[in-house]
Structure 1
Amino acid sequence: MKFRFQTLCIAFSFLGIANVLYAQDAVPNNQPKFDEFMYRRGNEYRSASGIPGPQYWQNSADYVIEAELDDTKNVLKGKLTMTYHNNSPEALPYIWMYVEQNRFTENSRGTLTTPSGGNRYAGDTDGGIKITYFAAKVHSSTSDKYLVNDTRMQVFFKEPIPAKGGKATVTMNFEFKIPKDGMDRMGRLESKQGTVYSIAQWYPKVAVFDDIVGWNTDPYLGAGEFFLEYGNFDYKITVPYDHIVVGSGELQNPEEVLTKEQISRFKKAADSDKTVYIIEPKEVGNTKNTRPQQKGTVTWHFKMNNTRDVAFASSKSFIWDAAKINLPSGKKALAQSVYPAESNGKEGWSRSTEYTKNSIENYSKKWFEYPYPVAVNVASNVGGMEYPGVSFCGGNSKGASLWDVTDHEFGHNWFPMIVGSNERRYPWMDEGFNTFINYYSTKEFNKGEYQSDIADAKSKVAWMKWNGREGINTYPDVARSMNLAYTAYYKPATGMIMLREYILGPERFDTAFKAYIENWAYKHPQPSDFFNAMDNGAGENLNWFWKGWFYGTGNIDLGIAEVKNTGKELQITFINKGEVPMPIVYDIYYTDGTKERKMLPVEIWQRGNKWTATIATSKAANRIQIDPDNLVPDIDPTDNLWMK
């Protein structure tokens, strides 16, 4: 459109403000709040539309592991062969692996950075991994050179792993003491009928090499969890004959480790929506009825494909039950629970399989189908921790508490087990998204048997006004302990609920979010990929929201400044006193008893922080309410309600 300079000069002269403009600073607009942020331009690896680019690549690793549990010394010994697939465009002279068992030593970085009073991520310090045999091979060249630094291990090859499809194998024998207190992620629970071993982070595993930073080698300190490559796992666990083992993936040799009666019960459970006992409470400790042999050791064999990790549990104290999981495609999976007698009961773990089944079915129907053959819940010394297909949850949990932890840990199968984000740096992409989907799962479980306060935005306001708060983008090992629950869980989940229910609406949000999950399933998205995916899928420029809510510590503070009834129209002046702009949803109550809902788009704040809405009506208003559904954590709600 052509704009004439002469017209502009006439306008300034008419208004009588030309001289004033030269005498004072210009009043800024709010464009910086809406500007682009981060580097979000697409390339051949990652598209600006939020999907993997045409040349996206990702390395992978396959594992064959044999391990033996010594329940007298609490030691696990293992033999590992890892086949590494280099799909990157560059040859690799070395790879980095994680030896996370070294976290449990006196001089580990994690131990040395644990506060003197301890925290959730304190743990035993008398452990550490021992590597008793090692070999690394590319083609026919074998190397025995490696370097261990804290929880990282650099493996060197005599010749580089070729780019775009090259392979290498790493073989090693290892052993470590199983910690009693394993940072609330693994360990030992003592029960009257035997120790429950929750075994995770139990083998050396390869780090992620990607197009963003190359090798992702952030040390394992505590709060930061995992970032792992996908691959296929074939693993065998040898235990005393009277133990039961459950683990990630499908049991390959049931005839060798189960009785005929237990196999029959499994078949019944696979067709039952009701929980079926595999080992009844009265049978625990009676090996004649529960074990196929009465001495020595037994080897349990599991396989799991296209997964980033595996974990398992072992004990002679397990009550064991199971039920069918119904998936949208018509496929079935099996929900299972194992727990000692102390955890049993109608309000306790006898409902665990019911909870597991419902959780998996809900997320499969609503977001993305569960891909694994089993979902196993283990009553553990661990308060709540997730691994692919296996969760460790507190053995003392009951009722709503057991539902909450079960639903949350199994929700992690979607974030980050299926959508493989970097938990070491961006916990909000797994904890926050998972807490968000937990809210809807809880609402729908058993006609609302339990309640969730995740959507109670007002309950988050006290923290958001606290001057010690930190941003969602704070790395987990950097965040203060009192902030991590908010930065990783509650604030991102609250933001996602606002985005779905208040800003976009369920239809647009669900379309974009499900596409994000599907496009990044079994891949490694970055925050920018998520932001681009949601912007494109919803057809909305959400820079103001990502920047304001997910990065930084700004707050929302909307208000009603003035209301005028002229008899022909209603004029409402809104103000934005906060750092984060937000659309305004508001209800108008009229004196005749009627009510109507209105919405103003976020763009009203682009030029300034005051906006007057005019509604043509002859009716008089006696009440106006901003955010009538209480979805927005406005830090000063006193001016959100106007009453005549």
Structure 2
Amino acid sequence: MKHYFAALLLAALPGLASAQHYFQQEVNYKIEVSLNDQTHELTGSEEIEYVNNSPDRLSYIYFHLWPNAYKNNKTAFAQQMARNNSRNFHFAEKQKRGYIDGLAFEVNGKPVKLEYEQPDVAKLILNEPLSPGQRILIRTPFRVKIPGAFSRLGHVEQSYQISQWYPKPAVYDRKGWHPMPYLDQGEFYSEFGKFDVKITLPANYNVGATGMLQTASEIARMDSLAEVSAAKKSFGTDMSFPPSSAKTKTLHYVQDRIHDFAWFADKRFNVLKSEVELPQSKRKVTTWLLFLNRNAPGWLARKNDLNTAISKYSELVGEYPYAAATAVDAALGENVGGMEYPMVTVTTPSAIIHEVGHNWFYGILGSNEREHPWLDEGLNCYIENRTAAEKDSDAGMLSGLLEPPLRRILGLEEVNANALNYAAWLLTNSRGADQPIEFPSEHYTKTNYAGIVYLKTPAAFTYLETYLGRDRFDKAMHAYYEKWKFTHPYPENLQAVFEEVSGEKLDWFFKDLLQTTELVDIGIKKVEKTIDGYRVTLKNEGKFAAPAPVAAINEAGEITKVQWTKPFTGEETLTFIGVADRFEVDPAYLLPETDRRDNQMKTTGLLPKSERLALQPLAGLEQNRKKQLYFLPVIGANTADKLMLGVALYNSSVQAKKVNYLLMPMYSFHQNEVNGIGNINYNFVPHGSRFLRQAILGFNFQRFEYFRKYEPSLTFNFKRATVARPRQQLKIAITSINHEKSKINPILEHAEIGSFFPLLHQPEKIGGQTLTYTIWQTNAVQKAGLELQFQHLGSNPKASDNQSNALRGTAFYERYWSKHKSAKARLFGGKFFTQGEQPFYMGLSGSPDYLKETIFLDRAQKSESIRALVDQTDLRDGAFKNFIPAFTDNWLTTLNLETELPFVPLSVYLDLGKMADVDEVFYGTGLALNIGKGFFSLYLPVAGSNFAGDTPENFKDFRRNIRFSLQLNKFNPFKLLNEGL
């Protein structure tokens, strides 16, 4: 009978009775489980009462068996960890893996079949269909092998984090079944019900768990531990595990109106107990902190944050419905971040407010986090920012990381938290790598998951809050909570409540802003003087209607008045009374806007739109009132120019602009002249395109040693349908090289390569047109790709008989065979199809680098100890590590193999090659010392073949044949700014 009334109560929830298609399943659990802290296993049994409140007959029920996510490298979790550049799980020892087994499902006492669709998702086939309104009793034993510290379920020695650990039915709602594999990036969706859980473990463990503890002896014990911890003057640093008690205890927890159950156990936990009074009802909530000695200072410094979160979220969202809340020190340390569960959270001290806040956004408002992560993380971060702002008026998820000295250095004194919270989004958006706020969590790139879900979303809701006004916004949030608590709301439900309460149509926000990557772009078109003030005309350059705030600012830089427009397209006019020095759109950086060049206008002067120039080091954000010019000291050297000192001046840092430039003059003290690099590009981001992510039209100029380089180029970066798809790029470059012949040493001085002088001919001019297509895919375990290149080269004079055409193809593959060691393979093939009277060549041991694509320390052949093409290689063309003086103007193919050695920082390599007009196969082998994963590599040759097939003379002098490569382009800080992600 009680279930019948529960169903009636559910149907009568405020506002839901009118939603005729809404229903919600009920799932009640009874679980008994025992912990073996020697084998790190759980053994238990589960009884589930499943109530079908849907209008459909169910012939099966999907089950989550999430411990199986840790079973092997084929699970969705394992694959996602690799995509997100983590090798920890992939190379984990067998005993660190986890799984669930021992399952024997029965329904109403009869065995049923379990069909696995994925290792951690299975379908329970019912013997008889479950009709609407019916209930069944599902039972099964189970055993869980607890994994190591990889994600949310795990242990470190005898410290346990037990979450997502029991067989759990998937949600069946008005949009169907939601079976989902366990993922580390992407959270969960579960049915509400009642939990009755009994946990048996050694008696000296301290436990924090979901639910209300019913065991009288343990209640008394926890109270006693809290008294001891409160009386401590210091906590020491001892982290050793005491022996486990030979006696066991059984802890009994119960709780209704929750959709998950987690528990955390450690024999070393300190315990603090407190209580907080809720602001409306004045009801008292008991709060607990469980923490380790080593982290005690941080927990004591933030011990009031748990109470603050409970009180403030109750005020801003709705009253906390449970009798207790617990925050637990993270058992799994740095391997796993904080994670929320009903009534209990595992966290670090700095994240207590955030994680406890998830009791509302996830716990009580049970949205589908996997499909709509912003409904959980985004809204929670917004309320967290408001909670933190009571302590710090400039609080925010990102701004807290920037202390005042750093903000001064970066020129961010005038920038508030909201602008900083947009920073990570601007990084990707301005380079065409944006993704919408309304987007499945598993399809985000790792950067966007943090930058959009956790940072852009709360900033966007601050925009909506300020537009609606805090009073209307808070009334809407309260109404949303009251209408949808203990249910499964979707984005459209949140929008409907906000529109009803605010009395405004909000498609511009919930559809245009949240569901697309289209930009807000509102600027000032003109300011006109009137009799008693000003008329300010705004222009919306964006593709959808949006509101904007406009501020009148006096000569002291103070805001005297702010007016909001309604959402508009085209033009809108606002009237201001009184005197103003300037007007500014969005002075508080509320709008997710990328182009702020037209956001301010002065009321007087010849250049009313001009902004003051601000010179600042390293990086910063685009701001309304100033135009940043960034600078960074640089140093360089080569054997011709010797030491060079200079400065890099550039206009883009975090955010790439439409027009980006880099000027890097470097003074050569030896040549007494200015060398350096200049780069300017136009960055086109076609928002809304299905295929193209970014196009970059650029021009590059270089002057070093004896050459000048001019290169216009056009680069296309293509979109990926999912994060698992490969990246693709197409680049077209037209290169012109001018040589200053008077600065070149005669290369014939070097007898060992003198017979190959034709390959090193340096005409006064070399022109080249290059078309390069690259496709590649990387993750933590392997990297693979293919590069195809067509190149046309010509020398001066520009006659048809001095033209050469070549086609090159390079396939590469790298595979990690341990957590830190990898093996590489590269297959190269190249051929010249035409040659002029002065032919061009491909080199077995690296390219002649006709178009100056590599940094060589001795390109001009000035030094006997560092000689280009002999001591240094660019690892292109044949890419032999040994110097074997073999070149071809026809065709060349090589296979380059390399693997790191265990226990020592060395690799062993083998290069094999074949070229036109030579019968034998070339080979080279030796050892390599790689620093910075190939940033600098030193090659130590052991053996190699020359034309005669025996060991050449130049291998007899081991010291003189040590070679190196310098891959500065791998760590070029300007590559991201000028060439895209």
For the aligned pair, the TM-score class normalised by the smaller chain equals: 0.7 to 0.9
Match of 1:611 among 572, 593, 597: 572
Letter in 2 for 1:66: E
2:131 is matched with 162
Q: C-alpha deviations, 1:307-345, integer Å up to 9, x for none?
A: 000100111111111111212312222111112211112
1:234 is matched with 196
2:545 touches 2:568 (CA, 8 Å); kept in 1?
A: no
Letter in 2 for 1:356: L
Match of 1:135 among 74, 92, 105: 105
Q: Is 1:173 matched with 2:141?
A: yes
- The alignment partner of 1:415 has SS state of coil
Distance 1:624-1:253 versus aligned 2 partners, 3 A rule: same
Identical amino acids, percent of aligned pairs: 28
Letter in 2 for 1:359: A
Q: CA deviation at 1:180?
A: 1.4
User: How far, CA to CA, are the matches of 1:244 and 1:604 in structure 2?
Assistant: 58
Q: CA deviation at 1:437?
A: 0.3
Q: Summarize the alignment of residues 115-154 of structure 1 with structure 2, pairs less than 5 Å apart.
A: 115=82, 118-119=85-86, 126=94, 127-138=97-108, 142-150=110-118, 151-154=120-123
Q: Summarize the alignment of residues 103-122 of structure 1 with structure 2, pairs less than 5 Å apart.
A: 103-106=69-72, 107-115=74-82, 118-119=85-86
User: How far, CA to CA, are the matches of 1:78 and 1:48 in structure 2?
Assistant: 38
Structure 1: give runs of 5+ residues left out of the alignment. Answer: 1-44, 270-274, 395-401
1:512 is matched with 476
Q: CA deviation at 1:357?
A: 1.4
User: How far, CA to CA, are the matches of 1:305 and 1:545 in structure 2?
Assistant: 35
Over the aligned positions, Cα root-mean-square deviation in angstroms equals 3.3
Q: CA deviation at 1:374?
A: 1.9
Q: C-alpha deviations, 1:613-640, integer Å up to 9, x for none?
A: 455x5x5543112223332233222321
Letter in 2 for 1:470: Q
1:587 is matched with 551
- The alignment partner of 2:290 has SS state of strand
User: How far, CA to CA, are the matches of 1:264 and 1:283 in structure 2?
Assistant: 22
1:623 is matched with 582
Q: Is 1:211 matched with 2:174?
A: yes
User: How far, CA to CA, are the matches of 1:428 and 1:46 in structure 2?
Assistant: 28
User: How far, CA to CA, are the matches of 2:87 and 2:499 in structure 1?
Assistant: 37
2:69 touches 2:76 (CA, 8 Å); kept in 1?
A: yes
Q: C-alpha deviations, 1:37-58, integer Å up to 9, x for none?
A: xxxxxxxx99998986256321
User: How far, CA to CA, are the matches of 2:273 and 2:287 in structure 1?
Assistant: 5
1:435 is matched with 381
1:384 is matched with 338
Q: C-alpha deviations, 1:227-277, integer Å up to 9, x for none?
A: 10001111111111221122111111131x3666x54576x89xxxxx946
- The alignment partner of 1:602 has SS state of coil
Q: C-alpha deviations, 1:332-388, integer Å up to 9, x for none?
A: 22111112211112xx12245421111111111222111222211111123211111
Q: CA deviation at 1:479?
A: 0.8
Distance 1:576-1:341 versus aligned 2 partners, 3 A rule: same
Q: Is 1:477 matched with 2:442?
A: yes
Q: C-alpha deviations, 1:261-310, integer Å up to 9, x for none?
A: x54576x89xxxxx9469994899999xx99x953221111112110001
1:354 is matched with 304
Q: Summarize the alignment of residues 295-334 of structure 1 with structure 2, pairs less than 5 Å apart.
A: 295-328=246-279, 329-334=281-286
Q: C-alpha deviations, 1:134-165, integer Å up to 9, x for none?
A: 23324xx623311123221211222122312x
Match of 2:319 among 369, 380, 402: 369
User: How far, CA to CA, are the matches of 1:250 and 1:202 in structure 2?
Assistant: 19
- The alignment partner of 1:103 has SS state of helix
Q: CA deviation at 1:552?
A: 1.0
Q: Is 1:642 matched with 2:601?
A: yes
Distance 1:456-1:171 versus aligned 2 partners, 3 A rule: same
Q: Is 1:458 matched with 2:424?
A: no
Q: Normalising by structure 1, report the TM-score.
A: 0.80
Distance 1:368-1:601 versus aligned 2 partners, 3 A rule: same
Letter in 2 for 1:418: I
Distance 1:278-1:360 versus aligned 2 partners, 3 A rule: farther
1:573 is matched with 537
User: How far, CA to CA, are the matches of 1:339 and 1:613 in structure 2?
Assistant: 56
Report the structure number with the largest CA radius of gyration.
2
2:187 is matched with 225
1:244 is matched with 206
1:229 touches 1:308 (CA, 8 Å); kept in 2?
A: yes
1:67 is matched with 33
User: How far, CA to CA, are the matches of 1:613 and 1:111 in structure 2?
Assistant: 55
2:290 is matched with 338
- The alignment partner of 1:245 has SS state of strand
Q: C-alpha deviations, 1:154-187, integer Å up to 9, x for none?
A: 11222122312x111111111122111232x232
Q: CA deviation at 1:109?
A: 2.4
Match of 1:415 among 342, 361, 375: 361
Q: CA deviation at 1:594?
A: 9.9
Q: Is 1:487 matched with 2:452?
A: yes
User: How far, CA to CA, are the matches of 1:145 and 1:452 in structure 2?
Assistant: 47
Letter in 1 for 2:82: P
- The alignment partner of 1:64 has SS state of strand
- The alignment partner of 1:416 has SS state of coil
1:37 is matched with none
Q: CA deviation at 1:569?
A: 5.7
Q: CA deviation at 1:577?
A: 1.9
Q: CA deviation at 1:515?
A: 0.4
1:276 touches 1:323 (CA, 8 Å); kept in 2?
A: no
Letter in 1 for 2:326: V
Q: CA deviation at 1:470?
A: 0.8
Letter in 1 for 2:40: N
Report the structure, 1 or 2, having the larger helix content: 1
Report the structure, 1 or 2, having the larger strand content: 2
- The alignment partner of 1:225 has SS state of coil
User: How far, CA to CA, are the matches of 2:237 and 2:432 in structure 1?
Assistant: 56
1:46 touches 1:53 (CA, 8 Å); kept in 2?
A: no
Q: CA deviation at 1:593?
A: 11
Distance 1:340-1:603 versus aligned 2 partners, 3 A rule: closer
Distance 1:495-1:170 versus aligned 2 partners, 3 A rule: same
1:472 touches 1:488 (CA, 8 Å); kept in 2?
A: yes
User: How far, CA to CA, are the matches of 1:603 and 1:154 in structure 2?
Assistant: 48
1:32 is matched with none
User: How far, CA to CA, are the matches of 1:593 and 1:146 in structure 2?
Assistant: 69
Letter in 1 for 2:200: T
- The alignment partner of 2:188 has SS state of coil
Q: CA deviation at 1:443?
A: 1.3
Q: CA deviation at 1:483?
A: 0.6
User: How far, CA to CA, are the matches of 2:278 and 2:24 in structure 1?
Assistant: 28
Distance 1:595-1:308 versus aligned 2 partners, 3 A rule: closer
User: How far, CA to CA, are the matches of 2:311 and 2:58 in structure 1?
Assistant: 42
Distance 1:232-1:536 versus aligned 2 partners, 3 A rule: same
- The alignment partner of 1:518 has SS state of helix
Q: CA deviation at 1:543?
A: 0.8
- The alignment partner of 1:361 has SS state of helix
Q: C-alpha deviations, 1:556-576, integer Å up to 9, x for none?
A: 221112222254663322112
Distance 1:121-1:519 versus aligned 2 partners, 3 A rule: farther
1:589 touches 1:595 (CA, 8 Å); kept in 2?
A: yes
Equivalent pairs counted in the alignment come to: 564
